[in-house]
Amino acid sequence: MDYAALFLVFFVGIVLFYGIIVVHDIPYEIAVHRNHPHQDAIHVAGWISLFTLGVIWPFLWIWATLYREDCGWGFKQDQAGSSNEVELLKNKISLLEGDIADIKNILATKEVS
């Protein structure tokens, strides 16, 4: 019975030790999956986070998830899509201006009559 308890204590200790390391490596795995340009820095900061008792770990998570390969840091909009929208809006405005001019002409002819 004593050996079983000793085995259990060592087993739980080893699982907790490696579990903490795996959890602190999650931001690095996210960075690798997203092809983040700062993968190595996030990996080193994850190891430093182990020694700071995980204080900087949430910031590493945020840092790793901010970047996506398809849209970069996510702060700028797709320039091609927004320019197409601007052109569509300009066309709509010119059509509406033409309709307003037609309505003004109709009203002006009715007032004269």
Whether 71 and 61 share a structural domain = yes
Which of 2-16, 21-35, 68-82, 83-97 bottoms out in mean pLDDT, i.e. has the lowest?
68-82
pLDDT attached to residue 109: 87
- Which DSSP string corresponds to the chain? -HHHHHHHHHHHHHHHHHHHHHHHTHHHHHHHHTT-TTHHHHHHHHHHHHHTTTSSHHHHHHHHHH-BTTTBTS-S--HHHHHHHHHHHHHHHHHHHHHHHHHHHHHHHHHH-
CA gap 99, 88 in Å, rounded: 17
pLDDT tens digits, 30-76: 999 999 999 999 999 999 998 898 899 999 999 999 998 877 776 66
Backbone angles phi, psi at 32, to 5 degrees: -65, -45
Cβ atoms of 24 and 49 closer than 8 Å: yes
Whether 66 and 90 share a structural domain = no
The number of folded domains in the chain is: 2
CA atoms within 13 A on the CB side of 15: 6
pLDDT attached to residue 26: 95
* 88: pLDDT strictly greater than 70: yes
Domain containing residue 81: 77-113
Whether 94 and 48 share a structural domain = no
Pick the closest to residue 41 from 33, 69, 49, 104 (CA basis). 49
Rounded to two decimals, the pTM is 0.60
pLDDT attached to residue 91: 93
